[in-house]
Structure 1
């Protein structure tokens, strides 16, 4: 990657215009432009070309809420899409790019991860940064906002104070990553608790599900078991099983993990 590419890799604004000794900034989203002031300085690249005009047909309204916030985790669309370096509000497109980066991480870990050593939450944070650093400005950072998903009647809220449980999560990750399991039932039990607790805490703004599956797979690999990536089907009722885990009922998730592991062993 040359110097020019490095400077512009994570650029959020497309160009700036100078008028009466003042700059206006233009941003590109889904191949259209909108005009707004600068977002937080920490996610800007100062090396940018000046362009004097843009076609009126290429102009859209600023789709981002909380644009003035110094906390980039607050800058989202009405549909909940976070500000991103892909310059897109298309959630399906963004998720495809996340999946591609996740595959890159898997490829790297398969070749380079030392499965003989235990690890903790700091390693998980590094995985998150590796996957999302080219997509979100907050990759590898802990969640700093409350989050909710679901309709008004069923919405689940992940509060920021849930992050107070990360030290306990860290110790449990270390404990599980040290163990050498001799049967599928025991490892499925511990992984069901690990995944449920991880997703209950929801340590990151985005990508918690993907990173929890990496975590699960690395523990399986350390024990000579096939990585499953939670190859989910609609009938697996994954979300319901996760919510049971939130109530410390880990059996539904354990049953799913055990089934997926056994399916992979049988298919080998």
Structure 2
């Protein structure tokens, strides 16, 4: 942890196993929010004095950057409106917002119309606007995640693939598949793999790829399977095969999940 003379936040508090940071400088990146009284009353902030100036541990790397997407903890947690470094807690909040948007789209989306990447940006903002200050914005940083066989780096130049992806998305979002499981699973395997290769957003790409998949399935009368795609299905390995334009492994997974939901052997 680095120390600074600047009051980056008023205090941190450990509550129910989660660290929450309340910022003095909220107006730099966030709308100012007063901590609720029940947290204030349990404040166990770690304050020190240096030459008469109160200092605080700064959990954020690149705090002074003008690009908020660069600001994260040493463990890779992006700065967030939840003011938390607890990744498990953040993931739960992301999942809850995702389910809200599933419900909203099922009830309100006009399935007769095609949609493209601009619509996906709107969905991203709807899901993450209460969690990340960069919701709905394109990625501005190179990213890397995982280790070993699951390691991957997404460079900024991958974003050049967005126009081609946009055209493909518009094409299949209006396509009528009837009962052709082979055809829709083939198209969706390419869609998911290409979207995740481009990695257009700082956070939430996996969730968005599966949401897009589910919406296209639902438009064609197929069951949604996005929430059923798990690591136990060798999902990450199949995605990486798709990065090399080998869509067969992902195609096989999608097809099996659709048939499983339809109870087809």
Whether these two folds match at TM > 0.5 is yes
Q: Distance in 2 between matches of 1:178 and 1:154?
A: 33
Is 1:201 the counterpart of 2:214? The answer is no
TM-aligned CA deviation for residue 62 of structure 1 = 1.4
Is 1:99 the counterpart of 2:88? The answer is no
Task: State which of 66, 83, 86 in structure 2 corresponds to 1:87.
Answer: 83
Task: State which of 117, 138, 147 in structure 1 corresponds to 2:143.
Answer: 147
Contact 2:14 2:44 in 1 (8 A): no
Partner of 2:25: 38
Is 1:115 the counterpart of 2:111? The answer is yes
TM-aligned CA deviation for residue 70 of structure 1 = 1.1
Query: How many residues in Structure 1 have an aligned counterpart in Structure 2?
Result: 242
Look up the SS of the partner of 1:214 in the other structure.
helix
**Cα separation, partners in 2 of 1:123 and 1:54, compared to 1, 3 Å:** same
Partner of 1:125: 121
Is 1:26 the counterpart of 2:10? The answer is yes
Is 1:251 the counterpart of 2:248? The answer is yes
Look up the SS of the partner of 2:144 in the other structure.
strand
**Cα separation, partners in 2 of 1:37 and 1:228, compared to 1, 3 Å:** same
1:173-198 per-residue CA deviation (whole Å, 9 max, x = no partner) reads 00111110130000000000000000
Contact 2:68 2:134 in 1 (8 A): yes
Correspondence list, 1:225-240, <5 A:
225-240=222-237
Contact 1:220 1:227 in 2 (8 A): yes
Contact 1:30 1:88 in 2 (8 A): no
**Gap runs ≥5 in structure 2:** 1-5, 47-55
1:137-163 per-residue CA deviation (whole Å, 9 max, x = no partner) reads 000000000000122675311001111
Question: TM-score scaled to structure 1, two decimals?
Answer: 0.82
**Gap runs ≥5 in structure 1:** 1-21
Correspondence list, 1:34-73, <5 A:
38=25, 41=28, 43-45=29-31, 57-59=44-46, 61-73=57-69
Question: TM-score scaled to structure 2, two decimals?
Answer: 0.83
Partner of 1:219: 216
Partner of 1:6: none
